[in-house]
Amino acid sequence: MKKKILVTGGTGYIGSHTTVELIEEGFDAVIIDNLYNSEAGVVDRIHKITGVRPLLEVLDLCDLEKLDGFIQKHRDISSVIHFAAYKAVGESVNKPLEYYRNNLLSLVNLLSVMKRYGIPNLVFSSSCTVYGQPEKLPVTEDAPLQPATSPYGNTKQVGETIIRDTTVSDKNVRAISLRYFNPIGAHPSALIGELPRGVPENLVPYLTQTGYGIREELKVFGDDYNTPDGSCVRDYLHVVDLAKAHVVAIKRLIEGKNKANYEVFNLGTGNGVSVLEAIKSFERVSGIKLKYRIVGRRAGDIEKIWADPSFANKELGWKTLSSLDEAMKTAWDWEKILRSNKI
């Protein structure tokens, strides 16, 4: 019998890539998504890649009654990977209540039904934003957390706390929080990738859209940081590498290999890359000279952060395999496919 895994937000960017990896590893993936920031057609493309069409239930996790009804029909779900959340940092500053309601109520509802129906395993989509600007780099999992600079970031911190407290109070619930650094790129098939709504906030979609001519120029937010070239430094990892980490984490819980009821892992490459280096990588893989301009700093930006992924390397047996250029190439291929209306 295939193990059934519930993927919330499974039609979204990271959720869809993870669903593909789960299916390819022999799991039965079922998706709950309210399609707020994604499209139902993603399941067709998952089907094209894997030969399997995962079940998609269009449902809002904030609706406890409907969620409960769904779980009652799928009592064989063994584990949950929880992606469904709002994720735009800037928007969260203007709509804090929407962010707290959506990101936290959905998590509380999910944990409630997991407890009610005895579903023991949860993998949570967290972020390196919980570290703020760390004093020591690369950042390890035991680095102190900093007060969040946006409601979005706070929902990740509070979300982690809610999960940890639940695992403390109920030994039947086991959870892993995965703190992502900066996921980029798309599936090598170019059938799934990031679908930003409107003007992208994140660097790589803005970069590829500028390369394609949809945006006039990329604005580089600051060149006066205390970094080698003055632009901010991040740890960009290929979304397929990130997706594979979820499969490893869910197997760890299912097989009972976890060392504690609640565990936290950094997921990154361990390499810091500046905005200007990311632009160079794009230029290398696309052959396009990118139009960009240095502008002032963006409010709330961290100067530099990259992961120490050694705990995940050792404990999960996971590491990133793709280089920056490989990941960037898939982001560019995806952008071209999207714009040629082949998707």
Catalytic residue set: 152
* Segment near ligand UD1 (CB under 6 A); pick from 46-54, 100-108, 200-208, 322-330: 200-208
The answer to whether 14 contacts ligand UD1 (rule: CB under 6 A) is no
* Segment near ligand UD1 (CB under 6 A); pick from 31-39, 76-84, 90-98, 216-224: 216-224
- Smallest separation, CB 338 to ligand UD1 (Å): 18
DSSP 312-329: IIIII-------HHHHHH
Q: Kindly tell me which residue out of 83, 206, 265, 318 binds ligand UD1, with binding defined by CB under 6 A.
A: 206
DSSP H or E segment with residue 281 = helix 275-286
Per-residue tokens: 223: 């060149």
Instruction: Report d(CA 232, CA 273) in Å as an integer.
Output: 8
The answer to whether 202 contacts ligand UD1 (rule: CB under 6 A) is yes
Q: Kindly tell me which residue out of 301, 313, 326, 337 binds ligand UD1, with binding defined by CB under 6 A.
A: 301
Q: At what angle do helices 13-24 and 42-50 cross, to 10 degrees?
A: 30
The answer to whether 182 contacts ligand UD1 (rule: CB under 6 A) is yes
The answer to whether 102 contacts ligand UD1 (rule: CB under 6 A) is no
Q: What is the per-residue binding string for ligand UD1 in 44-83, x denoting contact by CB under 6 A?
A: ----------------------------------------
- Smallest separation, CB 222 to ligand UD1 (Å): 7
CB 23 within 8 A of CB 29: yes
| Residue 52 or 104 with smaller CB distance to ligand UD1 | 104
The answer to whether 220 contacts ligand UD1 (rule: CB under 6 A) is yes
**Residue 146, burial from CB neighbour count under 10 angstroms (0-12, 13-18, 19+):** middle
* Segment near ligand UD1 (CB under 6 A); pick from 24-32, 105-113, 298-306, 332-340: 298-306
Instruction: Report d(CA 317, CA 179) in Å as an integer.
Output: 16
How far lies 200's CA from each of 204, 237, 306, in Å?
Answer: 9, 18, 22
CB 244 within 8 A of CB 27: no
Q: What is the DSSP letter of 88?
A: -
Residues of the shown chain interacting with ligand UD1 in the complex, contacts defined by CB under 6 A: 87, 89, 127, 129, 150, 153, 182, 201-203, 206, 218-221, 232, 234, 275, 298, 301-302
